[in-house]
Structure 1
């Protein structure tokens, strides 16, 4: 058994999609060493959409924003339960970390705070136009990380 200092600290970013589940399964199949790895799964809830209802011309009822926020929180709880179940089924020992904000920024920030040695993230394979317009979390992480990033394609 490796001592704590020699363990790899691996962060797996999961958003609840089948692609992120695939990234976790790929990690378990190809890289996971139970006695040598400390696994941290991160799930980021992005509430920016909750506050974007309405406009200067048509303000939104604060109750609507509150309900959207609450709905996103319930969805995140469901996703985390699913992640826990997947980890248990795969025999992965680790922790799920929850963050709030821009997913790419939070993944980088938490990886630095926790001293992670590698990040594994899924790629949805967005086309050039969609990625340019919407941005891509995996693209952001690859370009802003100071540690190795493995991007799992579906």
Structure 2
């Protein structure tokens, strides 16, 4: 049997409304031969540093207390990840979950290579106002650095 073009898909999510609509497109790829979906959420290392420092965003050495905020974020985000995983399984897709800590764009590109995905499907903009101002800096990074095809879903075009 011939391998399909987009058999293994990476879906990075920030759990925003755009990510939810983007995931609807991912589930439709099942009809195009997609079998496996890797759902990922990157815990931004900058967030864990800020939490570890009690909200202070000053520059300094990396605190040994960053592991606790990472654990709290993983626990908090786990419910969201399980909800997306359930939707993928309902669409009869094989699912795996990744929640690395680091720079979102870099982690997405790294996981895409590591998991040998054939397509990355990502929303054009993230949750935060800063990301809106930067015109989707994560998706822009992924487009420029990924070795796989990238499907970017723009606001207003999903669904």
TM-score, normalization by structure 1: 0.75
Cα 1:98–1:149 change in 2 (3 A) is same
Q: Which moved more, 1:43-52 or 1:120-129?
A: 120-129
Cα 1:151–1:35 change in 2 (3 A) is closer
Q: C-alpha displacement at 1:140, in angstroms? A: 0.8
How many residues align? The count is: 145
Identify the residue that residue 140 of structure 2 maps to in structure 1. Answer: 139
CA contact (8 A) 2:36 2:93 kept: no
Unpaired runs of 5+ residues, structure 2, are none
CA contact (8 A) 2:9 2:34 kept: no
CA distance in 1, matches of 2:132, 2:111: 29
Identify the residue that residue 96 of structure 1 maps to in structure 2. Answer: 97
CA distance in 1, matches of 2:90, 2:40: 18
Unpaired runs of 5+ residues, structure 1, are none
Identify the residue that residue 25 of structure 1 maps to in structure 2. Answer: 24
Q: C-alpha displacement at 1:67, in angstroms? A: 5.7
CA contact (8 A) 1:38 1:94 kept: yes
**Greater Rg, structure 1 or structure 2?**
1
CA contact (8 A) 2:39 2:98 kept: yes
Identify the residue that residue 48 of structure 2 maps to in structure 1. Answer: 50
Identify the residue that residue 83 of structure 2 maps to in structure 1. Answer: 82
CA contact (8 A) 1:13 1:121 kept: yes
Q: How does 1:115-130 map to 2 (within 5 A)?
A: 115-124=116-125, 130=133
- For the aligned residue pairs, the C-alpha RMSD in angstroms reads 3.1
Identify the residue that residue 8 of structure 2 maps to in structure 1. Answer: 9
1:111 aligns with 2:112: yes
Identify the residue that residue 41 of structure 1 maps to in structure 2. Answer: 39
CA distance in 2, matches of 1:97, 1:62: 23
